[in-house]
Chain A
Amino acid sequence: MFLLRWLSIPLLVLAATVGPVYWAFPEGLSPARSLGIVLGWAGCGLLLASLLLMLRETWLSRWLGGLERMYQWHHHVGMAAYVLLLAHPLELAADAWPASPTLAWQTLSPFSQGWPVRLGWLSLLLLMLGLAATFATRIPYRSWRWLHFSLGVGVLVGLWHLLQLGIEEPVLPILALAALFLGWRILREDSGLAARPYIVQSATPVADGMVEIALKPLAEPIAATAGQFVLVAFFAGPTFRGCGEFHPFTVSSMGAGREIRVGVKALGDCTRRIQGMEPGVLARVHGAFGTFLAERPAAPQLWLAGGIGITPFLALLRTGPVSQETTLVYLYRAEADAAFLQELRALAEQDPQLSLQALATGNQPPNIDSLLPATRELAGHECYLCGPPGMLAAVRQSLHERGIKPRHIHFENFGFR
């Protein structure tokens, strides 16, 4: 089952790439022109796979090994498609170059060609703009999302470019699928049709710039387990100005009455506003996603949390005592930033198998090597990491140096841009 989940996305991407290339493989053309055409079709197939991988459905994420994995592949596959599609017109122009440099430029130029080529150019420019926005992490999330959306428009314009060339047979099914995936994402996920209605019961500050929000279901609740995250859109309340858009938050508790709690750290415009949350605010919750703490083997465990990364571990500890020897290393800047620290200390005192090491690291990056147990103490351990990307990279490096194999290191970044 693990192998199937691990292979699911690579196989899907392979099929999406090879399928259109096989279907429309050119015959009787020069090698350069054939290569140019194959690059275009391969890029087209990769874009389609990338669109599928942006869908946020719990059943789909289970098949494909988790939403975070889907998003990583979505980024890589989209980037690969972009590179192939940049090479596509250049290769076609290169094919004409030996005959005449003028002909080569006219193959490429949007000014000397008709609408099919102009649409190809428009598609490339939209992809270029959308990807530029993807990498511009400093712009506000809402603007970022709109600019990122231009990638979807770029895909549709690219397929229109093919239709204008008179190629309908493989294009129409691809266009139908692309439109389905984009419409699915916009209607079911961005506009919240797939989400369930909840109401905010309480909002409790747990650290500087961090609040824990309790949500009660107003209809059929979502099914969440410890280590998972949900996508939540908060709407306007009496004084709270809603965000409307969906943001990922890790579940910190699953109550008996199916209410859930989520930890929210002030990281952007919306999450800063959520710090002033009030009871009675309506929300929509979509999920739950993630497999971070699922299927844990019965081996001794090292949990390492940085800042808000403590939330999935807390959710698990709140369900009851751990079933194996567990060391929880909790890193935070200062005591004021240490969310849930008192509760964690109380849980560790009651649980003989749980050992808590809570450490304030200050504003400088901590020396991870000195914080981790020695190599012989880590033998046979499963390691679970949750925290900022920089910290995760340093911890993984240190664990590798201690001889821990990658299959024993589990982590999620909880990053969605």
Chain B
Amino acid sequence: MRRLYLSTTVIFWLLVSAFWAGSLWLPPADESLAVAAEKVISRTELAKHALPDNCWMAIRGTVYDLSAYMPRHPSPPELVLPWCGKEATEAYDTKTKGRPHSAYADELLARYRIGILTASKP
């Protein structure tokens, strides 16, 4: 068992190092995944997408289509789904517990950007 412990621990750290090295040396993600980057979306349009499988959210003035991400979100659905179709900056910045999302979440979020929220209320 000692041999198993040593070998798995060494392999673990080698793979962690490989992920770190990959992030430094391999080309960054294709930013083109964010589609229709600058489409202007009204709050009325935003409110139409308030379902788990059709979920848009506005965060810091940008609208994201999070329908595909919803099943992957680690929090229970009852915490996240109420924000579908709404302006959710406050919830995103505090996670409703006073803690902001991580830099990782920011990067992930950018991948679902579909447009910007119109400045004035309808």
Contacts and interface: CB of A to CB of B under 8 A. Distances in A.
Contacts of B22: 97, 101, 104-105
Contacts of B102: 112-114, 117
Contacts of A115: 99
Contact of A29 (B19, B26, B71, B99): B71
Given A79-B4, A86-B12, A167-B76, A101 B71 contact: no
Interface string B91-112: 0000000011111110110010
Interface residues of A, number: 40
Nearest to B22: A101
Interface string A108-120: 1100111111000
B5 A109 contact: no
What DSSP secondary structure best describes chain A's contact surface? helix
A188 to B, nearest CB: 28
Given A106-B23, A114-B105, A169-B76, 7 more contacts: A27-B71, A90-B16, A106-B103, A135-B2, A166-B75, A167-B75, A168-B76
Contacts of B105: 114
A33 interface: yes
21 contacts: A83-B8, A86-B8, A97-B22, A99-B111, A101-B19, A101-B22, A101-B23, A104-B22, A106-B23, A106-B103, A106-B104, A106-B107, A114-B105, A135-B1, A135-B5, A165-B74, A166-B74, A166-B79, A167-B74, A167-B76, A168-B76
Which 7 residue pairs across A and B have the least CB separation, nearest first?
Answer: A100-B29, A105-B23, A166-B75, A28-B71, A101-B22, A106-B104, A114-B102
B35 interface: no
A22 to B, nearest CB: 18
B15 interface: yes
A359 interface: no
Q: Which of A97, A114, A116 has the most CB of B within 10 A?
A: A114
A108 B71 contact: no
A114 B8 contact: no
Interface string A27-42: 1110001000000000
Interface in A112-134: 112-117, 128, 131-132
Contact of B1 (A76, A109, A112): A76
Interface of A: 26-29, 33, 75-76, 79, 82-83, 86, 90, 93, 97, 99-109, 112-117, 128, 131-132, 135, 165-169
B23 A104 contact: yes
A93 B5 contact: no
B122 interface: no
B44 interface: no
B108 A103 contact: yes
B1 A86 contact: no
Give the size range of B's interface with the partner.
20 to 34
A104 B22 CA distance: 9
Nearest to A75: B1
B54 interface: no
Given A79-B1, A83-B8, A116-B74, A103 B19 contact: no
Contacts of B26: 101
Nearest to A30: B72
A97 B26 CA distance: 11
Contact of A102 (B12, B100, B107): B107
Given A28-B71, A102-B29, A166-B75, A79 B5 contact: yes
Interface string B54-85: 00000000000000000110111001000000
A114 B5 contact: no
Nearest to B4: A79
A50 to B, nearest CB: 13
B19 A93 contact: yes
B72 A29 contact: yes
Nearest to B6: A135
A117 B104 CA distance: 11
Nearest to B15: A90
A108 B16 contact: yes
A33 B29 contact: no
Contacts of B12: 86, 90
Interface in B1-58: 1-2, 4-5, 8-9, 12, 15-16, 19-20, 22-23, 26, 28-30, 33
B54 to A, nearest CB: 14
A227 to B, nearest CB: 27
Contacts of B29: 99-100, 102-103
A37 B39 CA distance: 36
A165 B19 contact: no
Contacts of B72: 29, 33
A83 B33 CA distance: 35
Nearest to A99: B29
Contacts of B101: 114
Contacts of A108: 16, 19
Nearest to B53: A28
B107 A165 contact: no
